[in-house]
Amino acid sequence: MTGRTLVDEEILLEQLDFIRLSLPSVFQEAAAILEQKEEVLLEAEEYGQQIVEAAQAKRAQILAESDITKQAQREAEELRQQVQKECEAMMQETLTEIELKRRACQQELEEMRKTAIAQAQEIENGADEYADSVLEGIEQDLQDMLRIITNGRQQLRADSPSSKRK
C-alpha cells in the first residue's frame, strides 16, 4: 500500500510496442480524419453559401414579383381612375349637350308658337277685312236696291191715277 501499482512488464512492453507501431497509423488516420473534416467543412460552407445565394435570389425574385404586382396594381388603379374620369367627363358633356339641345328646342318651339300666333292674327285680320269688304259690298248693293225700290215706288206713285187726280 505504498501507492504503487504492479504491472506485468511483458504485457507493458507488448502494449508499448503495439502503441509504437500503431501510433503512426493512428496519427495518419487522425490526420486523414482532420483532412476529411476540413473538406466536409469546406463542402458544408460551400453548400451553405449556395443555399444562402439561392435564398437571396429567391428573395430578390419574390421582391421583384411583389414589386411587379404592386406596380401592376398601381397602374390598374390609375387606369381605372382615368377611365372613370373620362366617363364622368363624357357624361357631363352629354348632359350639357342634352341641356343645350333642350334649350334650343324650347326656343324653336317658342318661335314656332309666336309665328303661329302671328299667322293666326294675320288670318283673323284678313278674314275680318274680307268680311268687312263683303259686308260693304252687300251694304252697297242693298243701298242701291233701296234706292231703286224708293225710285220705283216714287215712279209708281207718280204714274198712279190717284196721284194724277189730285
Of 63, 155, 140, 76, nearest to 164 by C-alpha is: 155
Is pLDDT larger for residue 58 or for residue 23?
58
Q: What mean pLDDT comes out for the span 103-125?
A: 92
pLDDT of residue 14: 85
Which tens digits make up the pLDDT trace of 9-48? 888 888 888 877 777 776 778 778 888 888 888 888 888 8
Please report, for residues 88, 95, 117, the alpha-carbon distance to residue 81 in angstroms, rounded to integers and kept in the order given.
10, 21, 53
Q: Take residue 4 and report the three cell numbers written for it.
A: 504503487
How many other CB atoms are found less than 10 A from the CB of residue 15?
13
What are the domain boundaries of the chain? 11-151
Provide the whole-model pTM. 0.40
Q: What is the CA radius of gyration of the chain?
A: 69
